[in-house]
Amino acid sequence: MSDVGRCRKVNQDMFLVDEALGLYAIADGMGGHAAGEVASDLAISTLATSLQRQQSTDGVWSTEEAAELLRAALDEGNRRICESVLERAEWRGMGTTMVAFVLASDRAVIAHVGDSRAYLLREGGLRQLTSDHSWVNEQVKLGLLTHEQAQRHPMRNIVTRALGNQPRVEVDCLAEEIRPGDVFVLCSDGLSGMLSDGEIREVLESHGSVPRLACRVLVDRANEHGGEDNITVIVLCCAG
Ligand code: CA
């Protein structure tokens, strides 16, 4: 589910749900003159086509294959955004985050760049799987800001890694075993910036087994808290 929020005129977030491939992703674009939408759209379409092209012959990717495919797809998206910037001067500075999830047999393989996140609710506990590539998170890691200060910091929107900013991009990849009852969430910072981890956990505890409803409640809560940015969320529940 994706929502423009209550402050922005346009929605620069894009998302992908491909049930056949087991591929799910969110891209949060940045840049004026419609460039943000261009960047997030390029990243998502490149991801979709490159994984469709590589569809596994036996229908199942190994963890290593899936990680390699995601890395290559994000790399290609980065390259395509960089090339587009050269064609149109008003697109200069555009970029996008990405968080991408693919099913590889009994594992979730997740790749990310920027501050779009993946969370896992397991047995009542919520864990953030990804580590934001953002200025505030770097300060948290250095012990210079607390988690709570980072959440409200005026520079919380500054990402330190994005697709489209450099000719080469470093992609972080992780694999997580999938267990019955697990609820995975992908989101843009329009959700995680408006809701605390505690609130996200509480909504998933109540509604995680009905993903569409969980998405609706999360988006509504983000808007109730101000809806300062575009809000995009994907909820995946493993039947248990
Ligand atoms: Ca955003």
Q: pLDDT, tens digit, for every residue of 116-143? A: 999 999 999 999 999 999 999 999 999 9
Amino acid, res. 78? N
Neighbours of ion ligand 1 (CB under 5 A): 28, 188-189, 229
**Average confidence (pLDDT) over 55-64:** 78
pLDDT more than 90, % of the chain: 86
Class of domain 2-237: alpha beta
Distance 58 CA to ligand 1 centre (A): 37
> What secondary structure, in 3-state letters, does 36-89 show?
HHHHHHHHHHHHHHHHHHCCCCCCCCCHHHHHHHHHHHHHHHHHHHHHHHHHCH
Asked whether 63 and 37 are in contact (CB, 8 A), the reply is no
Residue 57, pLDDT score? 63
Residue 240, pLDDT score? 74
Distance 28 CA to ligand 1 centre (A): 5
The mean of the pLDDT values for the chain is 95
Residue 115, pLDDT score? 97
pLDDT more than 70, % of the chain: 98
Distance 62 CA to ligand 1 centre (A): 32
Distance 132 CA to ligand 1 centre (A): 13
Distance 68 CA to ligand 1 centre (A): 27
pLDDT band at 114 (very low <50, low <70, confident <90, very high): very high
CB within 8 A of 74, min separation 6: which ones? 43, 47, 98, 100, 111, 113, 163, 169, 171
Domain ranges of the chain: 2-237
**Average confidence (pLDDT) over 90-119:** 95
Q: How far, in Å, CA of 163 to CA of 54, rounded?
A: 21
**Average confidence (pLDDT) over 69-88:** 95
> What SS3 state is found at 207?
helix
Using N-to-C axis directions, what is the helix angle for 63-87 and 35-53, rounded to 10°?
140
CB within 8 A of 142, min separation 6: which ones? none
Q: How far, in Å, CA of 192 to CA of 129, rounded?
A: 13
Distance 60 CA to ligand 1 centre (A): 33
pLDDT 10s digits, 35-58:
999 999 999 999 999 998 887 666
Q: How far, in Å, CA of 46 to CA of 159, rounded?
A: 21
- The pairing of strands 13-18 and 2-3 is unpaired
pLDDT band at 206 (very low <50, low <70, confident <90, very high): very high
Question: pTM to 2 decimals?
Answer: 0.96
